[in-house]
Chain A
Amino acid sequence: GESVGLHLPTLSVQEGDNSIINCAYSNSASDYFIWYKQESGKGPQFIIDIRSNMDKRQGQRVTVLLNKTVKHLSLQIAATQPGDSAVYFCAENNNAGNMLTFGGGTRLMVKP
Chain B
Amino acid sequence: DSGVTQTPKHLITATGQRVTLRCSPRSGDLSVYWYQQSLDQGLQFLIQYYNGEERAKGNILERFSAQQFPDLHSELNLSSLELGDSALYFCASSVGGFGNTIYFGEGSWLTVV
Q: Hey, what's the 0/1 contact readout for A88-112 against B, CB within 8 Å counting as 1?
A: 0101010111111111110000000
Residue A44, interface by CB 8 Å: yes
B37 proximity list for chain A (CB < 8 A): 2-4
B31–chain A nearest beta-carbon distance, Å:
6
Size band of the B side of the interface?
20 to 34
A residues with a Cβ closer than 8 A to B are 2-6, 32, 34, 36, 41-46, 49, 51, 89, 91, 93, 95-105
Given contacts A89-B43, A100-B45, A102-B43, are A46 and B98 in contact (CB under 8 A)?
Answer: no
Given contacts A2-B88, A3-B88, A97-B56, are A51 and B39 in contact (CB under 8 A)?
Answer: no
Report whether B98 and A95 are in contact in the complex, using a CB–CB cutoff of 8 Å.
yes
Interface residues of B in 70-109 (CB under 8 A from A): 87-88, 90, 92, 94, 96-107, 109
Complex Cα distance, B11 from A55, in Å, reads 43
B58 proximity list for chain A (CB < 8 A): 99
Complex Cα distance, B55 from A98, in Å, reads 9
Report whether A46 and B88 are in contact in the complex, using a CB–CB cutoff of 8 Å.
no
B residues with a Cβ closer than 8 A to A are 2, 4, 31, 33, 37-40, 42-45, 48, 55-56, 58, 87-88, 90, 92, 94, 96-107, 109
Report whether A51 and B99 are in contact in the complex, using a CB–CB cutoff of 8 Å.
yes
Complex Cα distance, B1 from A38, in Å, reads 13
A46 proximity list for chain B (CB < 8 A): 101-103
A100 proximity list for chain B (CB < 8 A): 33, 45, 102
Report whether A49 and B101 are in contact in the complex, using a CB–CB cutoff of 8 Å.
yes
The 7 closest A-B pairs by CB, nearest first: A97-B56, A43-B104, A102-B43, A3-B88, A44-B104, A98-B97, A43-B106
Report whether B104 and A3 are in contact in the complex, using a CB–CB cutoff of 8 Å.
no
Report whether A98 and B94 are in contact in the complex, using a CB–CB cutoff of 8 Å.
yes
A6 proximity list for chain B (CB < 8 A): 39-40
A99–chain B nearest beta-carbon distance, Å:
5
